[in-house]
Structure 1
Amino acid sequence: MPPTAVDLVHHRGFGKLVDHRDINLTNHVAPQGVARVEVRTALNGWFNAERIDDAVLVADELVGNALKHAGGPVSLILDIYEQCAVVAVADRDTDIDAVPVSPSNPSNDLDDIPEDGRGMFLVALLSTAWWVEKMEAGKVVTAFFASSTGDH
């Protein structure tokens, strides 16, 4: 089983938890928009603009995947530590095998990846680490973002 966010943070010394948000997305008409706003707002002041944009794009992709493949997202979970952030999207689909755990792109050219397969490649490219875990009533896809030097 992949490490939890708490395991990664404590193992690598990313500091104390400074913010936790659990946003219910089940009744929103535009859950991707909600996710983008929530991530940008939460990370403002903790990360540089480029890293915030990375996290916003990943959150958008994870929520979009839940909408397209899992009947919709249930929640967006944000944990912000002094030197990292964790963005996770939970849904009700228990099929973790449907999520490609190792998207690859040997040429590093997005044009070589079918449009329907680009999302998880972008998640892997933009996050420090990511994983999928089966939960009691679904799954959660988590992306971990270590801050870059000079973020604060």
Structure 2
Amino acid sequence: MTTHTDPGLTQAGSPSAKGRAFEISIAADKALVAEVRHSVRASLTSWDADEIADDMAVVASELASNALKHAGGEATVRLRLTEGQALLEVDDGSARPPVPRRVGADIEEGRGLLLVQALAADWGWRQRASGGKTVWASLSVPAGCPA
């Protein structure tokens, strides 16, 4: 797992909108999903966004797990915190769109995107020009959280 942190991120197209960001590249090892979850929670806590840290950690865990399960290769997880929003993006090598499923009570998996829908203010996906896709989710940051 490789982690890159940029505490002085300036968003493209908005030179005055400073924020915080980090990026993690993970190999096709589901055990690394716990590291993603921990890194997201720890980063948001250190950035004084504790109120959304647990929810975003769940979102990160679900999206990273889906990327490793369905794409079968590496994934890259990015987290950006700007004023008013935390954005998590997960890149993987699969072009297949994410599809939320309704599953029965006796099935142990398949609820990840339903959790993402329930926790996120918004979520979606897009094809990447280089192949694969990016699945993203955003959470609103409560007023008073510094970016």
Preserved CA contact (<8 Å) 1:87 1:143: yes
**For 2:107 and 2:29, how far apart are their aligned partners in 1?**
29
Q: Which residue does the alignment assign to 1:120?
A: 113
> Are residues 52 and 95 of structure 1, via their aligned partners in 2, closer, same or farther at CA, if it must alter by over 3 Å?
same
Root-mean-square deviation (Å): 2.9
Q: CA deviation at 1:111?
A: 6.7
Preserved CA contact (<8 Å) 1:124 1:130: yes
**For 1:28 and 1:104, how far apart are their aligned partners in 2?**
24
5+ residue gaps, structure 1: 1-5
Q: Which residue does the alignment assign to 1:48?
A: 50
Identity of aligned pairs, percent?
A: 30
Letter in 2 for 1:119: G
TM-score where L is the length of structure 1: 0.72
**For 2:38 and 2:110, how far apart are their aligned partners in 1?**
25
> Are residues 17 and 63 of structure 1, via their aligned partners in 2, closer, same or farther at CA, if it must alter by over 3 Å?
same
Structure having the higher helix fraction is 1
**For 1:149 and 1:113, how far apart are their aligned partners in 2?**
40
5 Å-filtered alignment, 1:1-152, equals 16-26=17-27, 30-44=31-45, 45-49=47-51, 51-96=52-97, 99-100=98-99, 103=100, 114-135=107-128, 136-149=130-143, 151=145
TM-score where L is the length of structure 2: 0.75
**How many pairs align?**
132
Instruction: Report runs of 4+ in structure 1 exceeding 6 Å deviation.
Output: none
Preserved CA contact (<8 Å) 1:63 1:73: no
Letter in 1 for 2:139: F
Q: Whose relative contact order is higher, 1 or 2, with alpha carbons under 8 Å and at least 6 apart?
A: 1
